Amino acid sequence: MIRCTKNDAIKLVVQTAPKYLEFYREFQAFDRGWLRWPERLIDLRKKLNIENYVILYDDERRIGNAFLLFLYGEKGLKEWNESLKSLSSEEQQAYINEYTQELIELDDAEIESLFPVIPESGAEEAQAQNDFLALPEEERLEQSKRLAFFLLFFFSSLHNYFSVMTCGEKMTSLVPKAVGGDDDAFLKAIQIDRHLLKAHPYFIERHARALQNGEIEFLNNVSYRLTNPHLRGKIIYPGIYVVFAILEVMGWLDDLSHEEILDICDAAGLDRWQNRIEDVNYLTKRLAGYRRYQKTKGVSMH
């Protein structure tokens, strides 16, 4: 498996976990845990025809691919993949290490500059539209695609991590379970992202079937989830769960000792007393729970 080094993985988790946790806490504090995205962002999502971003939850790799397509574009990513194929395993590993090092060395301003600026006012939007129309047609198409890939990544990745901090399980675990027939996973998933009921084929079909067959208990449970704030859940100390999730995405969760993960929580500023990460035994119990939540054995992963 080609992945970044252990030291680089630890550095990336220490950098990113506090940011996700801070963002999550801000949403929890604002409007009592209801996720209310700015209307301009929702309008842009519709305009770019990416209302089906929820299908990325079917497979975690789709979220990563959306981010790479945003960074490189379709042509650039194809060339990047082709160049990697021509390298030996050792050369691929060296390339990944170099790329990861570049990410680690970026400061906050440089990271922010990577992402598109979303207009916050009518005047800014009008100016952005004028600038966009002044571009050659080919460049306009490329910019639209890159922005669409960014928003695909933005909505799917945030909901994914918000889910693990709310109920201990990622959307990329809940949604495949739901598709495999797990109604409990279905209900948890729609609490985090209501848009599943409008844009994910299985969720639309399952809800319609329940209405047709008069599945009163299921429909009452759906109603209950939809009237609950998105971020109201049972995970009291979400920081530790986002650390688990990021390590899992990078392929390191199973290969670090529990003491090492505890050290990561400390280095990330997730105060072990505030977050009740009291000792290795406590972390071991939380990690066992996390792994239990994420099990998708026997479930279709498209």
For residues 244-261, average pLDDT: 93
Q: Is residue 160 part of a domain?
A: yes
pTM of the model: 0.87
Q: Is the pLDDT of residue 55 over 50?
A: yes
Mean pLDDT, the chain, as a whole number? Answer: 87
Range of the domain at 37: 6-226
Q: Is residue 256 part of a domain?
A: no
If one counts the domains in the chain, the total is 1
Per residue in 266-298, pLDDT (tens digit) is 888 876 545 556 678 888 988 998 888 887 543
Lowest mean pLDDT among 32-41, 109-118, 187-196: 109-118
Q: Is residue 301 part of a domain?
A: no
Q: Is residue 300 part of a domain?
A: no
Q: Is residue 237 part of a domain?
A: no
Q: Which one is predicted more confidently, 28 or 48?
A: 48
Residue 77, Cβ density class (10 Å: 0-12 exposed, 13-18 middle, ≥19 buried): middle
Q: Is residue 248 part of a domain?
A: no
Q: Is residue 244 part of a domain?
A: no
Q: Is residue 291 part of a domain?
A: no
